[in-house]
Amino acid sequence: MPPKLDTHIQSLPATIPFVAPERISRETGKAFVARIGANEGRFGCSPLAIEAMQKAAIDNVGVYGDPEAYAVRETIGSALGVSIDEITIGSGIDGLLGHIVRIFSAPGDDILTSLGAYPTFNYHVAAYGRQLHTVPYRNDYEDLDGLVEVAKNLRPAILYLANPDNPMGSWWPAEKIDQFIDAISEDTLIILDEAYGETAPEGTLPALNCDKPNVLRMRTFSKAYGLAGLRCGYAIGHRDLIAQFEKIRDHFGVNIMALVAADAAFKDQAWLQKAVALNQAATARISQIALTHGFIPLPTATNFVAIDCGQGADFAKQILVSLADHGIFIRKPMTPILDRCIRVSAGNSSELDAFEAAMNMIMKDLK
């Protein structure tokens, strides 16, 4: 007899929310020359973060990190004007999302998100046996009014919203988000995923308000900070929400390299500002390339551009596959209507040179 399996886990398919370019390369036997599909920061990271990791590799990697991540929480908290008790650290937003589903809902509970929004959240919802409900995007925006409307009757345990959004890159101004939060009943936990907060225009992120009893704001070192491989993110919210994580989190799950690098990177806001400027130039260039081919680049507050290729999903898929044949890794939305687009991350200049050249080649054949 094999070991006993949880019956719910047994019923689930084994899936990976995002198939990696490494896997595609293993299957095709070809390396990618441009890795512009996963929205990773492609402009390096703060040299102070590298220095901190080098030092830790010699001095500290043999010991357990501080399970309270005190130093980095203190750094972030004092810069943002929130108390250390209002911040928790995790292995990326992805890791924290799993904790949140586990903490703030029970098996069978209703959970609300947008149709085609960030899939790793849905993966955790399925894993914990919660019931996922979705509201379609409206004109490539997450539909705030639609979410409020559905939430009124559904009374979901958790509501997930990314602002700015992935995969479309759209965003709502802070006033709209504040109104949205106020319109949701306080017995629903709102996850406000701000993975792209650093690249969003001023006026996008609502002021931090940790008095609100039902909102968790999610931030990460994976995008603008250029440290996706580090696996470090954090949540900010009411201290009673944050305290719950202490009951279940893996206290040594954020490793010592992540603790020192996150702290150093956060302190280096001058580097971040340079990266944000490079990001802006890169997304502008991607948009320009799209226009050259008669496509519509959607406005973006993120480190990627969703490009409306003007025809259906099959055409967008063809472009994605042809780009892969030319060594360019991109991704695309999978949900109908959104799936007419491809999604191209803000690569460094050699990656965007390769993207531009590949587009010129493949569009000759596809037209």
Ligand X SMILES: *Cc1c(COP(=O)(O)O)cnc(C)c1O
Using Cβ positions, the residue closest to ligand X within the complex turns out to be 92
Tokens standing for residue 230: 């580090």
Tokens standing for residue 143: 């539909």
Nearer to ligand X, 241 or 254 (CB): 254
Those residues with Cβ within 8 angstroms of residue 27's Cβ, 6 or more apart along the chain or in another chain: none
Nearer to ligand X, 230 or 359 (CB): 230
Give the nearest distance from C-beta 367 to ligand X in angstroms. 32
Nearer to ligand X, 166 or 287 (CB): 166
Give the nearest distance from C-beta 118 to ligand X in angstroms. 4
Separation between Cα atoms, residue 95 and residue 90, nearest integer Å:
6
Torsion, CA 311, CA 317, CA 323, CA 328, rounded to 10: 120
Nearer to ligand X, 339 or 353 (CB): 339
Give the nearest distance from C-beta 102 to ligand X in angstroms. 16
Give the nearest distance from C-beta 164 to ligand X in angstroms. 8
Give the nearest distance from C-beta 264 to ligand X in angstroms. 17
- Give CA 285 to chain center in angstroms: 22
Nearer to ligand X, 220 or 283 (CB): 220
CB 207 within 8 A of CB 236: no
Closest Cα partner for 34 from 348, 366, 365, 360? 348
Give the nearest distance from C-beta 142 to ligand X in angstroms. 11
Nearer to ligand X, 94 or 268 (CB): 94
Nearer to ligand X, 203 or 229 (CB): 229
Q: Which DSSP string do the residues of 185-234 spell out, in sequence order?
A: -TTSEEEEE-TTGGGSPTT-SPPP-TT-TTEEEEEESSSTTS-GGG--EE
CB 192 within 8 A of CB 204: no
Give the nearest distance from C-beta 177 to ligand X in angstroms. 15
Q: List interacting residues with ligand X (CB under 6 A).
A: 39, 92-94, 118, 162, 166, 193, 195, 220, 222-223, 228, 233
Separation between Cα atoms, residue 246 and residue 189, nearest integer Å:
18
